């Protein structure tokens, strides 16, 4: 049976939550493979709004197994809060519907504190983090000093892991003018939260491989967007993990040969939260209009998103680095009513035309967009569920996007509602 990876193909906020929820009806297992609770997914189901930031989007659908893989950094206190919030909305969550990788690293309170202190330093350029400890938690993972889910089950191991982490953190905190970590209080907090995490702990790699062999359909869900990838994003204004599709394998323990289709989620225009280069950004009335019509505020942070025209150069890059087989184009309805639309088809850098975004940060900052204009449309596309419901100019826009990014449209989303989706190619088709 087909297994599908869903990745954001821009800077995040592309509408992954709705698409993953839409696809979850066809899947048996939904697995998160990277990130933490710093990227929000908003789902609208039968008029009720569900806001998720850590749990897989499939958790709100009955009869599915939701999995948090080892590539995710897990804040156990946030996990408990998010589970309680969903239960209050009538969602059933049990160890039979949710599993967490035993080797997933934990986000500790010291990680969030460190994140916020660093971002507040006046002498250091801001990255634009959410301050939730994601980056420092990944640093500890690579530095081999993480406390992981399995460590919560054995007190002697837990103490060893905490002591190893504090050798590093206390030295770092002294340099930042912070007090040493209260070891005993941290251990007490971890012991108290342990039961809320351990009841869901499982060898996720084993479970997923068994599910695959049994012919179950697995949907792999990432957070953020490929342009925030630690290697292929606009470094250093990126997240602290790999976001591209290859991470689905290493972030869950399933082999790359088990992935059959990569679906890239692409917004019909471009947005970005936080700092960093954005060649196609708009600072005029059109940018304001996109933000207002698209309700462009972060699910987790509430921060206003920067808005710009569709950047075909960047999406073409991310389709290549993630091996995208087809895209889901979202928020087409936000473009309704524009007399003229623009698409970024290249960059000018110091008098040279480029068809890609260079890696060097200083060059990225100097890139200016080369736009191609297209006629807009006056009719509404909101709620369209077939090509026949779309104005001719909207169809031309979609086809031009396909040409420019060298990738076909598999799905077209025309509103936040789950069923307002035009299916072109079913990613789960065998």
Length of the chain in terms of residues written: 430
Give the model's pLDDT for residue 18. 80
Give the model's pLDDT for residue 298. 65
Is 245 assigned to a binding site? no
Pick the catalytic residue from 37, 41, 64, 267. Answer: 41
Is 16 assigned to a binding site? yes
Is 302 assigned to a binding site? yes
Give the model's pLDDT for residue 280. 95
Radius of gyration, alpha carbons of the chain = 22
Report residue 83 as tokens: 């589970």
Report which secondary-structure segment, H or E, holds 65.
strand 65-68
- Tell me whether residue 286 is one of the annotated catalytic residues: no
> How is 122-186 classified by DSSP, letter by letter?
TTS------SSSHHHHHHHHHTT---BGGGGG-HHHHHHHHHHHHHHHHHHHHHTTPPPP-HHHH
Q: Are strands 340-349 and 48-52 parallel, antiparallel or unpaired?
A: unpaired
CA-closest candidate to residue 133, choices 62, 239, 220, 7: 239
Pick the catalytic residue from 13, 229, 311, 420. Answer: 13
Helix (H, G, I), strand (E, B) or coil at 371: strand
Is 267 assigned to a binding site? no
Is 12 assigned to a binding site? yes
pTM attached to this predicted model: 0.92
Report residue 37 as tokens: 């609770």
- Tell me whether residue 342 is one of the annotated catalytic residues: no
CA-closest candidate to residue 382, choices 328, 419, 327: 419
CA-closest candidate to residue 323, choices 406, 240, 252: 406
Is 323 assigned to a binding site? no
Burial 192-216 (b: 16+ CB within 10 A, else e): ebbebbbebbbebbebbbebbeeee
In the block, tokens 């991470």 appear at 247
Report which secondary-structure segment, H or E, holds 412.
strand 409-413
Do 407 and 319 meet the contact criterion of CB atoms below 8 Å apart? yes
Is 305 assigned to a binding site? yes
What DSSP state is assigned to residue 42? E
In 234-273, which residue ranges form alpha helices assigned H by DSSP? 247-250
- Tell me whether residue 295 is one of the annotated catalytic residues: no
Report residue 290 as tokens: 């996109």
Q: What is the distance between the terminal CA atoms of the chain, rounded to a whole angstrom?
A: 6
Is 145 assigned to a binding site? no
Give the model's pLDDT for residue 126. 65
- Homologous superfamily, domain 266-423: Adenylosuccinate Synthetase, subunit A, domain 3 (3.90.170.10)
Give the model's pLDDT for residue 63. 85
Same fold, 109-198 and 266-423: no
Structural domain spans, the chain: 109-198, 266-423
Q: Which residues of the chain have pLDDT under 70?
A: 1, 39, 122-128, 298-302, 430
CATH match of 109-198 with 1.10.300.10: yes
Q: Are strands 340-349 and 310-311 parallel, antiparallel or unpaired?
A: parallel
Give the model's pLDDT for residue 125. 60
Give the model's pLDDT for residue 1. 59
CA-closest candidate to residue 430, choices 217, 275, 248, 192: 217
Give the model's pLDDT for residue 367. 96
Give the model's pLDDT for residue 419. 82
Pick the catalytic residue from 37, 78, 141, 267. Answer: 141
CA-closest candidate to residue 311, choices 270, 353, 275: 270
In the block, tokens 């660093």 appear at 118
CA-closest candidate to residue 248, choices 239, 236, 260, 238: 260
Distance CA(413)–CA(290), nearest Å, equals: 17
């Amino acid at each position: 049976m087909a297994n599908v990876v869903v990745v954001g193909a821009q800077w995040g906020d592309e509408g992954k939550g709705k698409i993953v929820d839409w696809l979850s009806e066809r899947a048996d297992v939904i697995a998160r493979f990277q990130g933490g609770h710093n990227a929000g997914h908003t789902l609208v189901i039968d008029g009720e709004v569900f806001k998720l930031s850590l749990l897989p989007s499939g958790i709100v659908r009955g009869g599915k197994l939701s999995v948090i893989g080892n590539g995710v950094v897990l804040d156990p206190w946030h996990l408990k809060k998010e589970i309680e919030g969903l239960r209050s909305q009538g969602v059933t969550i049990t160890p039979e519907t949710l599993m967490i990788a035993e080797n997933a690293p934990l986000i500790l309170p010291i990680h969030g504190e460190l994140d916020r202190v660093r971002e507040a330093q006046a002498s250091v350029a801001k990255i634009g983090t959410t301050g939730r400890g994601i980056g420092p938690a990944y640093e500890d993972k690579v530095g081999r000093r993480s406390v992981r889910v399995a460590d919560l089950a054995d007190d002697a191991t837990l103490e060893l892991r905490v002591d190893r982490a504090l050798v590093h953190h206390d030295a770092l905190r002294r340099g930042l003018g912070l007090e040493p970590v209260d070891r005993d209080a941290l251990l007490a907090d971890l012991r108290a939260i342990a039961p809320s995490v351990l009841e869901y702990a499982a060898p996720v790699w084993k479970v997923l491989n068994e599910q695959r062999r049994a012919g179950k359909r697995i949907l792999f869900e990432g957070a953020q967007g490929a342009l925030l990838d630690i290697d292929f994003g606009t470094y250093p204004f990126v997240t602290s993990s790999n976001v591209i599709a290859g991470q689905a394998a290493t972030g869950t323990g399933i082999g790359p040969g088990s992935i059959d289709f990569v679906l890239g989620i692409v917004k019909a225009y471009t947005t970005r939260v936080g700092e960093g280069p954005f060649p196609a950004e708009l600072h005029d009335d059109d940018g304001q209009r996109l933000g207002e019509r698209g309700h462009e505020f972060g699910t987790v942070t509430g921060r206003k998103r920067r808005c710009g025209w569709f950047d075909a150069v960047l999406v073409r890059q991310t389709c290549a680095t993630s091996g995208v087989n087809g895209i889901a184009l979202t928020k087409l309805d936000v473009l309704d009513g524009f007399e003229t639309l623009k698409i970024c088809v290249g960059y000018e850098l110091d008098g040279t035309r480029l068809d890609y975004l260079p890696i060097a940060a200083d060059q990225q900052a100097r890139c200016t967009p080369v736009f191609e204009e297209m006629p807009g449309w006056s009719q509404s596309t909101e709620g369209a569920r077939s090509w026949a419901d779309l104005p001719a100019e909207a169809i031309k826009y979609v086809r031009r996007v396909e040409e420019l990014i060298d990738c076909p449209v598999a799905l077209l989303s025309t509103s936040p509602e789950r069923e307002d989706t035009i299916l072109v190619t079913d990613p789960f088709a065998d």
